[in-house]
Structure 1
Amino acid sequence: MELLDQARAHVDSGAYFTELARLVSYPTVSDAPEGREAIQAYLGEVLTPALTGLGCEVTQHANPDPAGGPFLVGVRTEGDDLPTLLCYGHADVVGEAGRWRDGLDPWTLTADGDRWYGRGTADNKGQHLINLTALRLLLEARGALGFNLKFLFETGEEIGSPGLDAFAAQEKELLEADVLIASDGPRLDAATPTLFLGARGGIRIDLDVDLRPDGAHSGNWGGILRNPATTLAAAIASLVDGHGRIQVPALLPPELPESVREALADVVVDAPDEGWGDQRLSPAERLYGWNTLEVLALDAGNADRPVNAIPGRARAVLHLRYVAGTDVGDVTATVREHLAAQGFPMIGVTTEASFRASRTPVEDPWVSWARQALDAVAEKPVALLPSFGGGLPNHVFTDVLGLATLWLPHSYPGCRQHAPDEHLLSSIAREGLVLATALFAAIGSAPPTLRR
């Protein structure tokens, strides 16, 4: 318990806040040229010293994809007979998506009660700093970690992790490990320690009803000229109804596995809109175990200054969030064929995939090991989520590297990541450092049967 008391004291003393303030000050925006310069400085001035301080040999690697930034890998080897842990984090952050409230600067860490404001506090600098700090505290207390460590940092997660899968494939030996433990995304809620095992995938679906270059008078042409907005509205309703239920079986997973249902049985999710979504499933099952199809944008005519004309064009952007087990081999063809069968062959369909869905099986022995280690120190039961609702490059670790993946998030759903006023809760940082320290401390005594 002395080690865990040191973890609590590290946050209570202000030492963690001071370190995080330095990390936040680097404007590491991955989709801006000046951000790329800040990323390189962050790798060299922050992450490399942090990893060398853990006794790691640190190497920087070029990205196989020119759209992405470099990778940083730290390796500490303590013995061939010891388990090997792979950790992951991303150095980049999103750009500004609007004005922050008065008195807040995205690149200056500001405390306001339990909230610590700054870009990257929740996504992902605050989270990977917790894990780096936990490893450092463990090493200082024991003189050794008790396991081999590999830490991978990427610099383009916020732009879809270009090149990460190719890099992992070409560097399998460098990244070979027994298990991945990483931190990103939110907990179930601010008060509940959470472990999740994977992530939903995402596919953007663009619908375009481009019928004519100009509008046509609604009185002179109404009733004989196809209206693209009306067509688009009906097409969307044939894909997902007005209560959020997907209407195309091919866009759904074949089943909700019993292991997933059992894992989510005690997970309580507050559903703010009664009757929304598939009511055969619980809110937790809909959010963490099933697919959703959301309309992100609609465009036809000018709703602010409408004129009495049938528009010539209507467009919509939809987003399919899907869980592992869903066949998304050709979503474009699936949607086109469905719309044609509904009488809408004139609608153009294009798709763009982001992260692929993946998850470690609930019954994997690393999962029960982690739950036991966390339950031993957590002040309340740890929630186990087979997948979290958003997207992460989890598939790189499960599918390319063949690892069990354990994600211990140090944020919460209201953190406003990707939006103005992003923040980390100091209470979660304190508890998260305790949980991460305990979990890392337990790796050295993990049963040999867990080894690959």
Structure 2
Amino acid sequence: MILVRAWFTLLGSTNIHPLAVRKNTLRTDILNKAALHADSDDFFQDLTRLISYPTESSTESGRLALSAYLGEVLTPALEALGAAVARYDNWRGSGNSFLIGTRCEGESLPTLLLYGHADVVPGQSGQWAAARDPWVLDADGDYWYGRGIADNKGQHWINLTALRLVLEERGHLGFNLKFLFECGEEIGSPSLDEFAAAHAEELAADVFLASDGPRLAADTPTLFLGNRGGIGFELAVDLRAGDYHSGNWGGLLRNPATTLAAAIGSLVDGHGRIQLSELLPAEGIPRSVRDALANVKVVTEEHDPDLDEDWADTSLTAAERVYGANTLEVLAMSAGNTADPVNAIPGAARAVLQLRYVVGTHVDDIESTLRSHLDSCGFPMVSVRTLTRYEASRTDPTNPWVGWASDSIQRTTGTTPAILPNFGGSLPNSVFESTLGLPTIWVPHSYPGCLQHSPNEHMLARVAREGLRIAAGLFFDLGAPRDSGVPSLRDLVESA
């Protein structure tokens, strides 16, 4: 691997060599072939085969399908790219399996690390509209239905296909390639961080790129640079074994549901505003993040709910609220039997909450923080238990790689992509940004309404088509030689 600074210098000046016209014609040819291939039956049949593997990471039968998917789909696809493949089944008994494909073209070339996950959530057979089988790809106009088509098989197949198209046309990639697949993203990526640390040399690269999650909107090419973290925790008020008559005991016994509601209200008010400062980023929203989000508009599409403009911190824009700030949500709560209530004070109440947080939030001791706060508010009877946790991470929007990727996408689409400092949801970005120390760039080929964890998951054909062109353009530009006419980022890198 080489220093990014040295490689960008190697690209040379911005003067266009006489051969640049021919090189740009080659880029155009590749993009045209990508569009034609996306419209072809071959591409649809490839995706049909991928969806036919019921790779549920949460079931035993799904884990068998995952093993077959690694051996019968991904290994041949990587080997067709001239990559050496190393496979790690059930690594260290973690329940997660990994695949690394490596193609080396030269020590003086940049190295790209790509990522995808082979597993999917449960198929939910019998719940899909029009009696669709989740394991059979079904086209209905622009909609391609099937479990995993958006998350993540369709997305990583677009990248694999784009790599193949560039390799076939140019005869080489012009960069070194590493592609990491895992089989447990949908169950929290068990041991992915430990695997990456143990294989840091094999995964060493100059930049990380992957495709997962949604675009800002279906017709808006998008880059995002990381993800918000998430911490799930339970608040419980267990006061007595049974329920007691509300007439005979009302006013004498503490009501767990009332206590729980008040405890939650001390953390987040009835308008979604976080009340505990320790649950907010210590330094607020960085200037680079505000600048990146300044022109980002959160839009709703067909079947999406209307935005509640008076919810959460109304001093922030909608984009800042979901991509630059923290939210505390009540995911579930219970007390008594709401379906068949009785005239009694319940004995217990429970709620599960989730803090979605950005980089800069101090969460290492969150359980102690919550415990101290609840005690200070007079709620020692409310217990706190952390349930789930994943880290927040992001690459700074001013990183030169971000500008490089944005410029490439603009050359391909004629549109300046939306740049989101981080995805609102969860991805294992910290593994690549923190553990491996790489600039992280995500280029999603899906859209917010894809229903990725629900029945009727789908990909839009037009987004897949544009996504294949975008990926081909990125890979072409990454491997472009000095005389290609692709703008150099030497000055930006040297000033970073």
Q: Is the Cα contact below 8 Å between 1:91 and 1:154 reproduced in 2?
A: yes
For 2:368, which of 312, 326, 333 is the aligned residue?
A: 333
Q: Does 1:75 align with 2:107?
A: no
For 2:237, which of 177, 197, 209 is the aligned residue?
A: 209
Instruction: Tell me which amino acid in the other structure corresponds to 1:257.
Output: P
Aligned to 2:341: 306
Q: Does 1:265 align with 2:294?
A: yes
Q: 1:63: Cα distance to partner?
A: 4.6
Report % sequence identity. 60
* DSSP-derived class of the 1:350 partner: strand
For 2:120, which of 79, 88, 93 is the aligned residue?
A: 93
Aligned to 1:191: 219
Aligned to 1:347: 382
For 1:407, which of 421, 439, 442 is the aligned residue?
A: 442
Q: 1:68: Cα distance to partner?
A: 2.7
User: In structure 1, how many angstroms separate the alpha carbons of the residues matched to 2:37 and 2:361?
Assistant: 44
Per-residue displacement from partner, 1:152-191 (whole Å, max 9, x unpaired)?
0000000000000000001010000000110000000111
User: In structure 2, how many angstroms separate the alpha carbons of the residues matched to 1:163 and 1:200?
Assistant: 20
| Structure 1: gaps of 5 or more residues | none
For 1:281, which of 302, 313, 316 is the aligned residue?
A: 316
Q: Is the Cα contact below 8 Å between 1:146 and 1:443 reproduced in 2?
A: yes
Aligned to 1:60: 87
| Structure 2: gaps of 5 or more residues | 1-27, 300-305, 481-485
Aligned to 1:437: 472
Q: 1:448: Cα distance to partner?
A: 8.4
Q: Is the Cα contact below 8 Å between 1:64 and 1:166 reproduced in 2?
A: no
Q: 1:379: Cα distance to partner?
A: 3.6
Q: Is the Cα contact below 8 Å between 1:200 and 1:356 reproduced in 2?
A: yes
* TM-score, L = length of structure 2: 0.89
User: In structure 2, how many angstroms separate the alpha carbons of the residues matched to 1:58 and 1:175?
Assistant: 13
Aligned to 1:422: 457
Q: Does 1:220 align with 2:220?
A: no
For 2:356, which of 321, 330, 334 is the aligned residue?
A: 321
* DSSP-derived class of the 1:206 partner: strand
* DSSP-derived class of the 1:129 partner: helix
Q: 1:272: Cα distance to partner?
A: 1.3
User: In structure 1, how many angstroms separate the alpha carbons of the residues matched to 2:140 and 2:175?
Assistant: 38
Q: Is the Cα contact below 8 Å between 1:336 and 1:349 reproduced in 2?
A: yes
User: In structure 2, how many angstroms separate the alpha carbons of the residues matched to 1:134 and 1:320?
Assistant: 37
* DSSP-derived class of the 1:294 partner: strand
Compared with structure 1, are the counterparts of its residues 275 and 65 closer, same or farther at alpha carbon in structure 2 (3 Å cutoff)? farther
Q: Aligned residues, how many?
A: 452
Aligned to 1:107: 135
For 1:297, which of 314, 332, 335 is the aligned residue?
A: 332
Per-residue displacement from partner, 1:98-141 (whole Å, max 9, x unpaired)?
71112311100000111100000000000000000000000000
Q: 1:274: Cα distance to partner?
A: 2.4
User: In structure 1, how many angstroms separate the alpha carbons of the residues matched to 2:414 and 2:119?
Assistant: 32
Q: Is the Cα contact below 8 Å between 1:68 and 1:161 reproduced in 2?
A: no
* TM-score, L = length of structure 1: 0.98
**Cα RMSD (Å) of the superposition?**
1.5
Per-residue displacement from partner, 1:229-266 (whole Å, max 9, x unpaired)?
00001111111111111111000102100110010000
For 2:405, which of 348, 351, 370 is the aligned residue?
A: 370
